[in-house]
Amino acid sequence: MKIGVIVFSKTNNTFSVADRLRAALAEKGLDIEIERIVPENDDPGAKPPIVFTNNPDVSPYDVVIFASPVWAFSLAVVMKEYLEQVGSLQGKKVYSFVTKQLASKFTGGIKANRQIKSAVVEKGGTVEKSFIVSWKNKKREEEIDSLIAEILKAV
Ligand SMILES: Cc1cc2nc3c(=O)[nH]c(=O)nc-3n(C[C@H](O)[C@H](O)[C@H](O)COP(=O)(O)O)c2cc1C
């Protein structure tokens, strides 16, 4: 079973969580890789269509974990655009997590995960579970540990 963490991260919060997840799953002997989505222009104000300088292919993976920041109470436009053109997710187990700054509810995490969910359905897949990490939350470490534990249990 091959696991791919497909991550967009501008300031590395999301990437740092993805890397902890990778290390934890690799330690358990799982075959896991991180691939970064890299746009030519990562300015949050950049208008679609977005050109990718690294556009990860999901076809080698049995399990795919999408990870992105929240931008403006929604999924970062880079991830949104990536998911619109990603290959088939049929038959794959999919998970998602988003990171955001604010700990309070209704600051975009639920919406962003919902946007990932809809995009995954469009590609024939289903998101089994999704997670939110709030950077300013006092319980951030617990959120990260619990995300890692839940994915580890599920895959
Ligand atoms: C343009 C922009 C918009 C953002 N909008 C939100 C928001 O609506 N809600 C929130 O909680 N955080 C928001 N943030 C904060 C990021 O979601 C947060 O810092 C995230 O962890 C960054 O991830 P990264 O380091 O992987 O890029 C925004 C950041 C940027 C750059």
Cα angle at 149 between 35 and 108, to 5 degrees? 65
pLDDT at 153 over 90: yes
pLDDT at 26 over 90: yes
Is residue 108 in contact with ligand 1, taking CB distance under 6 Å? yes
**Which of 111, 100, 34, 114 minimizes the C-alpha distance to 70?**
100
pLDDT tens-digit readout, 99-151: 999 988 889 999 999 999 999 999 999 999 999 999 999 999 999 999 999 99
Note the residue count of the chain: 155
pLDDT at 152 over 90: yes
pLDDT at 1 over 90: yes
pTM across the whole model: 0.98
Atom of ligand 1 lying closest to residue 8 CA: 26
Q: What is the pLDDT of residue 104?
A: 86
Is residue 52 in contact with ligand 1, taking CB distance under 6 Å? no
Q: What is the pLDDT of residue 85?
A: 97
Chain CA centroid to CA 123, Å = 16
Going along the chain from its start, the domains and CATH numbers come out as: 2-154 (3.40.50.360)
Residue 1 Cα to ligand 1 middle (Å): 32
pLDDT at 41 over 90: yes
**Which of 120, 130, 146 minimizes the C-alpha distance to 21?**
146
